[in-house]
Amino acid sequence: MKVSLTVNGKDVTADVEDRTLLVHFLRDTADLTATNIGCDTTSCGACTVLLDGDSVKSCTVLAAQADGRSVTTLEGLASDSGEMHPVQRAFHNEHGLQCGYCTPGMVMAIVSLLRENPSPTEAEVRTGLEGNICRCTGYHNIVKAALAAASEGVQ
């Protein structure tokens, strides 16, 4: 079937099998590989992207379900000049990553969280990140990064 999406502000159209997952469309068709494939069951959150501004796990969304909609991936957060998004910068400054596998999904989840709640408490950040698993850092610096981005007024 033919699927047309706006991905990071650019139109992407392709013929795909009707069972193609959004994560595979992004990685294989749009050549955007920051969105990672972790579990294929919504358990880990490594594939989190924004679909029409809302955080979704792209491993359980069909590309056909996203037809005509807008998707933002980690690659789409930075400015055209290459300046990092404030959440990306906060991850860098607060050392919110170790191996980096979960980082794209964590960043996207935090961007969504801060749009919904621009001034979260530490507990609200931790609750907001439920479903996004990091096996390396214990979340301490990830939470610090979310709070640092929030203190900058990121939305």
Give per-residue pLDDT as tens, 35-44: 999 987 889 9
Average pLDDT across the chain, whole number: 94
Structure tokens at 72: 């933002």
pTM for this model (two decimals): 0.94
* CATH code at 2-76: 3.10.20.30
Q: Give, as one character, the DSSP assignment of residue 86.
A: H
* Pairing of the two strands 2-7 and 10-15: antiparallel
H-state helical runs in the chain: 22-24, 86-93, 103-116, 122-128, 140-151
Class of CATH domain 86-151? mainly alpha
Q: Work out the percent of the chain whose per-residue pLDDT is above 70.
A: 99
Question: How many C-alpha atoms does 64 have within 13 Å on its Cβ side?
Answer: 8
Instruction: Write out the residue limits of the CATH 3.10.20.30 domain(s) in the chain.
Output: 2-76
Structure tokens at 81: 């000049």
Convert the pLDDT of each residue in 51-87 to its tens digit. 999 999 999 999 999 999 999 999 999 998 999 999 9
